[in-house]
Amino acid sequence: MPADFKTIRYERPSEGVARIVLARPEMHNAQNPEMLYEINDAYYEAAMDDTVKVLVLAADGDNFSSGHDLAAPNWFECVPAGLWGGLEQPGAEGFFSLEHEVYLDMCWRWRNMPKPTIAAVQGKAIAGGLMLIWVCDLIVAAEDARFSDPVVAFGLNGHEYFVHPFEMGARKAKEMLFTAEAITAQEAEKLGMVNRVVPKADLEAEALALAERIARLPMMGLKMAKQSVNQALDAQGMWTTVQSAFSLHQLTHSHNMQVHGLPVEPSGIQFIKEQGRASR
Ligand code: ZN
């Protein structure tokens, strides 16, 4: 069993199935660096354990994840998992390196683990929360799930793992980004963004049953099926899209630094608060 995690749990709910559970419900599972590195360690654990065939990603509490924990300190106490380096360099060099290490590299590594992954989502999944879900192969959503990436309100182009057009189609991706509004589980199912919508009370059982069904199939077939679909997406330019959008994302951070002295547009916070009030 891996080291004691503080922000997640790593579980083995049944034969062939491992489950990562985000466990900061009091913070709506906001992702601090510690959580991102613990998720990364858990992915490694699941990848290297030959008795694990399918990985489920779930979350405690009412909301799957409110995104990155922007108030979190101590970025650099985590040992980098990638080779980008320069995380503490001043200016755009350090910022680019840091976001490459903790967001882009992590997401792309998780997306490319050959074993099948399933996200089980309830409540809100906002920006960085959506990144964790979109790297998974299958998505099971509770009826109350809401998906959004409102970071254009912060003067950014979208979150750091920019696969929106692949997940929702270009037109709906633009609508999500331009309006900063959430889409419902039902809309997401219609778009093919989630596989199935289930009553909230059944979410854990449904996701586990799906994982158990997949775990009955041969590992080699599963891995090559996953690779084949991912390669189809890559042939359509997914990785090129992610990298070029990440560069524009860094441009938006640099612009905000020059204009506002902050990596994000400050009025975005007020916008999101007002939007939250209106949608209640
Ligand atoms: Zn960013």
pLDDT value of position 2: 57
Residue 170 pLDDT exceeds 50: yes
Annotate the chain with three-state secondary structure: CCCCCCCEEEEEEECCEEEEEECCHHHCCCECHHHHHHHHHHHHHHHHCCCCCEEEEEECCCCCECCECCCCCCHHHCCCCCCCCCCCCCHHHHHHHHHHHHHHHHHHHHHCCCCCEEEEECCEEECHHHHHHHCCCEEEEECCCEEECHHHHHCCCCCCCCCHHHHHCHHHHHHHHHHCCCEEHHHHHHCCCCCEEECHHHHHHHHHHHHHHHHCCCHHHHHHHHHHHHHHHHHCCHHHHHHHHHHHHHHHHHHHHHHHCCCCCCHHHHHHHHHHHHCC
Rounded distance from Cα 95 to ligand 1 centre (Å): 8
Tell me the pLDDT tens digit for each residue of 48-102: 999 999 999 999 999 999 999 888 865 667 889 999 999 989 999 999 999 999 9
Give residue 99 CA to ligand 1 midpoint distance, Å. 6
CA of 159 to the centre of ligand 1 (A): 7
Measured in Å, residue 84 CA sits from the centre of ligand 1 at 16
Residue list, CB under 5 A from ion ligand 1: 99
pTM equals 0.96
Whole-number pLDDT of residue 70: 80
Give me ligand 1 centre to Cα 278, in Å. Answer: 26
pLDDT on residue 74:
58
Q: Measured in angstroms, how far is the CA atom of residue 209 from the centroid of ligand 1?
A: 36
Q: What is the pLDDT of residue 280?
A: 46
For residue 76, the model assigns a pLDDT of 66
Question: Ligand 1 centroid vs 33 CA: distance in angstroms?
Answer: 14
pLDDT digit string, tens, across residues 8-55: 999 999 999 999 999 999 999 999 999 999 999 999 999 999 999 999
Task: For residue 73, report the distance from its CA to the centre of ligand 1, in Å.
Answer: 16
If you measure from the C-alpha of residue 127 to the centroid of ligand 1, how many angstroms do you get, rounded to a whole number? 10
Task: Provide the percentage of residues in the chain whose pLDDT is more than 90.
Answer: 89
User: What is the CA(139)–ligand 1 centre distance, in A?
Assistant: 24
- Greater pLDDT, 260 or 70: 260
